[in-house]
Amino acid sequence: MGYTVAVVGATGAVGTQMIKMLEESSLPIDNIRYLASARSAGKTLQFKGRDVVIEETKETAFAGVDIALFSAGGSTSAKYAPYAVKAGAVVVDNTSYFRQHPDVPLAVPEVNPHALDKHNGIIACPNCSTIQMMVALEPVRQKWGLERIIVSTYQAVSGAGMGAILETQAQMRSVLNDGLDPKDVEANILPSGGDKKHYPIAFNALAQIDVFTDNDYTYEEMKMTKETKKIMEDDSIAVSATCVRIPVLSAHSESVYIETKEIAPIDEVKAAIAAFPGAVLEDDVAHQIYPQAINAVGSRDTFVGRIRKDLDKENGIHMWVVSDNLLKGAAWNSVQIAETLHERGLVRPTAELKFELK
């Protein structure tokens, strides 16, 4: 009656949260399988108190799998997700690899669940920084329309994986316990594991997440632009982002400025956000109530506050948006997509393979 669910990248920062979200999920799961690199194969991780032996991710590993959650990096998804689809699974991919593929829905279940209906075996989970912005802005877009978005992010290091968390803690200890200047601590991962130079994040702010593109924006910034247009199904929404890493372990914060098509009364904006599923209004400045990263950790919700009119533009609104990047930004949104697929009767083998087998 239930599904066989595979978690690809089970040992990672997101993978371990995916397991937790699956344990708490309403999804009927008969069988769980953990896949990872050859290095982790043979080790065990638990599922609902029971040991599960980790298998190596291979082309042939997906026989019998109904739902495969991928979070092991873009190259792993590129290589193995098509084999999972060919074996009859539906893939929910948390990497950026398939997000702009025309045959792949990019889904935030509260925002565009209808996008799932036409899936071809792979559904992409958007970037963490995009997801929480979508949850905050979709209720505004629905009522007043969106003309433009300018966003500056305050992103946690866990978005760069387990290694980045450990590196941040080690750097902080070097400064606080050993008296090192933050300039002199060892840095091997941030701002981007895929780039040449690495800089300390301890007591620093790094205006680079992912590598740079040709237009001087980073890939992370361009993800926010492109993914917003695809999820909201409107290429006319202007989106420019500045993505910044700060010394926070988990939960991303965002300073979001929007211009609406029609003038939106602030009280009504607050009410619309408060009523939207997955969004929580935390906005009472008289009592110093506004979203905080440390309070968002562990929650599936997106917290929105500091909502106020621009001082000059009648259709301009500023807000502060915070969510746990490992949960709504990744693991929970992926499992929530799987739950939505189940509710809509969309967990089924795909007839025609639209993705290249490499």
Q: How far is the CB of 140 from a second copy (least distance, A)?
A: 17
If the CB atoms of residues 119 and 230 are measured against a second copy, the closer one turns out to be: 230
Q: How far apart are CA 237 and CA 147, in angstroms?
A: 5
Residue 162 backbone dihedrals phi, psi, to 5 degrees: -55, -40
Q: How far apart are CA 243 and CA 252, in angstroms?
A: 11
End-to-end Cα spacing for the chain: 33
**Best CA proximity match to 356, nearest among 62, 122, 125, 127:** 122
Catalytic residue among 119, 125, 243, 252: 252
Q: How far is the CB of 129 from a second copy (least distance, A)?
A: 14
Q: How far apart are CA 62 and CA 81, in angstroms?
A: 9
If the CB atoms of residues 161 and 191 are measured against a second copy, the closer one turns out to be: 191
Examine the residue annotation and report whether 128 is marked as an active-site residue of this protein.
yes
Site for a second copy in 246-265 (CB under 8 A): 246-249, 253, 255, 257
Site string for a second copy, 193-212 (x = CB under 8 A): --xxx-xx--xxxxxx---x
CA distances from 312 to 119, 141, 299, 309, 315 (A): 43, 21, 35, 8, 9
Side by side, which strands form the sheet with 302-309?
Answer: 238-242, 146-154, 252-260, 316-323, 302-309, 279-281
Catalytic residue among 128, 243, 318, 342: 128
| SS3 (DSSP) at 349 | coil
Q: How far is the CB of 203 from a second copy (least distance, A)?
A: 5
Site string for a second copy, 212-231 (x = CB under 8 A): x--xxx-------x------
If the CB atoms of residues 311 and 351 are measured against a second copy, the closer one turns out to be: 311
Q: How far is the CB of 234 from a second copy (least distance, A)?
A: 13
Binding site for a second copy (CB under 8 A): 148, 150, 152, 154, 169, 172-173, 176-177, 181-183, 191, 195-197, 199-200, 203-208, 212, 215-217, 225, 238-240, 242, 244, 246-249, 253, 255, 257, 285-288, 290-295, 305-308, 310-313, 316, 318, 320
